[in-house]
Amino acid sequence: MTSSSPAIDRKLDIDAIRKEFPVLHQQVNGRDLVYLDNAATSQKPLKVINALIDYYQGYNANIHRGIHTLAERATKAYEETRHTLKRFINARSEQEIIFTRGVTESINLVASSYGRAFIKEGDEIIVSGLEHHSNIVPWQLVCEEKKATLKTIPVLPEGVLDLDAYRKLLSSKTKIVSVNHASNSLGTINPVKEIIKLAHEAGAVVLLDGAQSGAHIEIDVQDLDCDFYCLSSHKMYGPTGTGILYGKKDLLEKMPPYQGGGEMIKEVTFEKTTYNDLPYKFEAGTPNIADVVAYKYAVDFINELGREAMAAYEHELLSYATERISKLKGVQLIGTAPEKVSVLSFTVEGIHHFDIGQMLDARGIAVRTGHHCTQPLMTCFGIEGTVRASFAVYNTRKEIDQLAESLERIINFMK
């Protein structure tokens, strides 16, 4: 099953969109590249690539501290990205947008700062069985240090969370609930608004891992009422090594700094340091300026196409791929939630997922194989890993046909 979705906007010109992505137009192992590994990282349009070139060729300078022209231009471009992300997720204030290296660092920031400041012995933190390792391990570290307990929302056979079990896990001991908006392994879109409401009723704060939602789902942090939200640029057509942490202002103001250094201070003496205002309190040192500047252009790309139109087209691709792949001999779909982003995970009876990945690569088709940094989830399904095909707005039905035909040949050959 795949997600319900609005009618497809036929105005999306996929051929024109594909021309904006130079990396797609190459051959791999003598075949035209079919790139279906978008959940790991999406490709970058020319406007993002050109933004990086323009920065380094035209106004490479450190930000905030300089008064010369290049520094002022760089600072302006950097802060324009913050403004763009504030609007993209509908935050109340730009002070609530913290630049990080991506979702992993954002979660570690909250775990290290909020977790270590406010979690005490006997407290409980809840994650879900759908989580990426980056939304498990940081909380384990906090629990080990603070003698708190980590609890897990179970996953039902179709790859959705057991909300009845979640309700039973919540108590006055629950201090943090941290779940993904959409699963990287299965594509499941979680009912995060209900999860947040229930957590707040128990007195807990909620962090949402938005790694797989940024390019696919409308995000309104005020409507969701989440306390923290994380995005990674490279999964939404932007550069690697940058992303954001959104946090409610009142919470961020209570949290101690995550790292010490330049920019996050107001005044330093050997006796005492006073910290800078938000958001700079959490942005120590020289940041990843060029990639933050280019991140804006990735968000512009998404906004120009429209998330609703993109999601509708990707839903069509997912539905078509699900229909084609599920009919192949020995294929078992892993994760059949009714609401999904464009991720299709499956196993093939008698053939190791790594072997399938290598044979597909020999035909120029890039998919992801393995446990997808969700080993507990794989254990839940009793498997070592899956083949994962994940789709973006530049993918086509023809590419899905190539995937299905190649898989059929591989299955027939291996059997």
Q: What is the DSSP string of 212-236?
A: TTTTTS---HHHHT-SEEEEEGGGT
The helix (run of H) or strand (run of E) holding residue 205 is: strand 205-209
Token duo for residue 272: 């005492």
Half-sphere exposure of 312 (CA within 13 A, CB side): 13
Evaluate whether 304 touches 77 at the Cβ level (below 8 Å): no
Provide the token pair at 370: 């393995």
Please tell me what DSSP assigns to residue 340. B
Compute how many other C-beta atoms are within 10 angstroms of the C-beta atom of residue 64.
Answer: 17
**What DSSP string runs through 283-329?**
--SS--HHHHHHHHHHHHHHHHH-HHHHHHHHHHHHHHHHHHHHTST
The encoded tokens of residue 309 equal 């139109």
Q: Which of 226, 230, 373, 380 is catalytic?
A: 373
* b/e 281-295 (16+ beta carbons within 10 angstroms → b): bbbbeebbbbbbbbb
Cis peptide before 279 (omega within 30 of 0): yes
Strands (E), 123-167: 124-128, 149-153
- Look at the block and give the residue holding tokens 């290290």: 112
C-alpha to C-alpha distances, 52 to 64, 147, 290, 295, nearest whole angstrom: 19, 45, 6, 9
User: How far, in Å, CA of 381 to CA of 374, rounded?
Assistant: 11
226 classed as catalytic? no
Among 245, 231, 237, 240, which residue's Cα sits nearest to residue 298? 237
> Is residue 248 within 8 Å of 169, Cβ to Cβ?
no
Q: Among all residues, which ones are annotated catalytic?
A: 373
